[in-house]
């Protein structure tokens, strides 16, 4: 009974929204039935058009309304991408090298505080000997290289092409990336002593966090030079 009640409430909300949207639309109603459902105040006026207003300083200075405002956003599987996000994407006519030179400084500025944070967290693990520190650095480098190769293969193979992208392709890639991170973490943890593993469990240091922010992903873009 609760299920049917919830379904009925949802249908009522949808129908109410569609009726309200149709009544408040500025378009010409398509049928007499639609006219009967709407309030008289919402119907478009059929009176003679008013004389055009004389141009003012505001109209001449602002110019005609721009028709390209809706084009500043993009729809991705029903999700409207904000304009500022689209500005971070390559712009029409912009070369990949110019795009790299524009975006990399912004990314480095945004990630700098996090790189300092994970470095401090790593340094707090003062019990790491040189071999363990080398294992950590090696695991990070190995995982970062494997992730870059996986993403590049996805781009070249068409998995990440926006026109043909499917959510399951993203899930498959995410699973592969998570497996790579897990292997790197296993390599690092295996280099620790039991006491160090116990301390690590209660410490704020995290391998995935350290990998994401300490790896210099931007260096892979030098292939464009």
pLDDT tens-digit map of 82-100: 776 676 777 788 787 888 8
Residue 101 Cα distances to 46, 87, 95, 144, 222, angstroms: 57, 14, 10, 22, 10
Q: For residue 180, what pLDDT band results from cuts at 50, 70 and 90? A: very high
Query: Residue 12's Cα: distance from chain center in Å?
Result: 33
Task: Write out pLDDT tens, residues 68-80.
Answer: 444 455 655 566 7
Alpha-helical regions (H) of the chain: 2-24, 32-37, 57-62, 83-88, 96-123, 130-156, 167-190, 194-202, 207-214
CB neighbour list of residue 24: distance below 8 Å, 6 or more residues apart = 42
CB 109 within 8 A of CB 177: no
Question: Which domain, by its residues, includes 5?
Answer: 1-42
Is 106 in the same domain as 186? Answer: yes
End-to-end CA distance of the chain: 66
Is residue 147 included in any domain, yes or no?
A: yes
Is residue 74 included in any domain, yes or no?
A: no
Residue 206 Cα distances to 107, 120, 181, 191, angstroms: 22, 12, 11, 15
Is 127 in the same domain as 211? Answer: yes
Is 5 in the same domain as 105? Answer: no
Is residue 91 included in any domain, yes or no?
A: no
Q: Which residues pair with 80 in a beta bridge?
A: 75
Check whether 136 has a pLDDT greater than 90. yes
Is 113 in the same domain as 218? Answer: yes
Alpha-helical regions (H) of 191-222: 194-202, 207-214
Is residue 50 included in any domain, yes or no?
A: no
Is residue 150 included in any domain, yes or no?
A: yes
In this prediction, residue 97 carries a pLDDT of 82
Task: Write out pLDDT tens, residues 16-49.
Answer: 555 555 555 544 444 444 444 455 444 444 555 5
Is 23 in the same domain as 120? Answer: no
In this prediction, residue 15 carries a pLDDT of 58
Is 103 in the same domain as 196? Answer: yes
CA dihedral 55, 58, 64, 66 (to 10 degrees): -160
Q: For residue 188, what pLDDT band results from cuts at 50, 70 and 90? A: very high
Is 121 in the same domain as 192? Answer: yes
Is residue 143 included in any domain, yes or no?
A: yes
Is 119 in the same domain as 216? Answer: yes
Is residue 37 included in any domain, yes or no?
A: yes
Structural domain count, the chain: 2
Please state the pTM of the whole predicted model.
Answer: 0.56
Is 33 in the same domain as 103? Answer: no
Is residue 155 included in any domain, yes or no?
A: yes
Q: For residue 162, what pLDDT band results from cuts at 50, 70 and 90? A: confident
Check whether 140 has a pLDDT greater than 50. yes
């Amino acid at each position: 009974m609760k299920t049917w009640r919830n379904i009925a409430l949802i249908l009522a909300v949808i129908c109410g929204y569609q009726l309200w949207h149709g009544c408040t639309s500025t378009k010409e109603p398509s049928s007499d039935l639609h006219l009967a459902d709407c309030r008289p105040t919402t119907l478009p006026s059929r009176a003679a058009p008013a004389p055009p207003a004389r141009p003012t300083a505001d109209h001449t200075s602002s110019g005609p309304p721009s028709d390209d405002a809706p084009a500043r956003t993009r729809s991705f599987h029903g999700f409207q991408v904000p304009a500022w996000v689209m500005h971070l994407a390559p712009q029409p006519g912009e070369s990949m090298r110019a795009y790299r030179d524009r975006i990399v400084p912004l990314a480095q500025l945004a990630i700098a505080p996090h790189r300092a944070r994970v470095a401090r967290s790593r340094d707090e693990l003062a019990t790491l000997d040189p071999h363990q520190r080398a294992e950590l650095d090696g695991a990070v480098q190995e995982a970062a290289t494997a992730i870059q190769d996986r993403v590049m293969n996805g781009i070249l193979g068409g998995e990440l092409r926006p026109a043909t992208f499917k959510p399951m392709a993203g899930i498959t890639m995410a699973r592969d990336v998570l497996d790579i991170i897990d292997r790197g973490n296993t390599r690092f943890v295996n280099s620790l002593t039991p006491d160090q593993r116990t301390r690590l469990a209660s410490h704020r240091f995290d391998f995935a966090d350290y990998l994401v922010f300490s790896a210099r992903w931007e260096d892979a873009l030098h292939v464009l030079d």
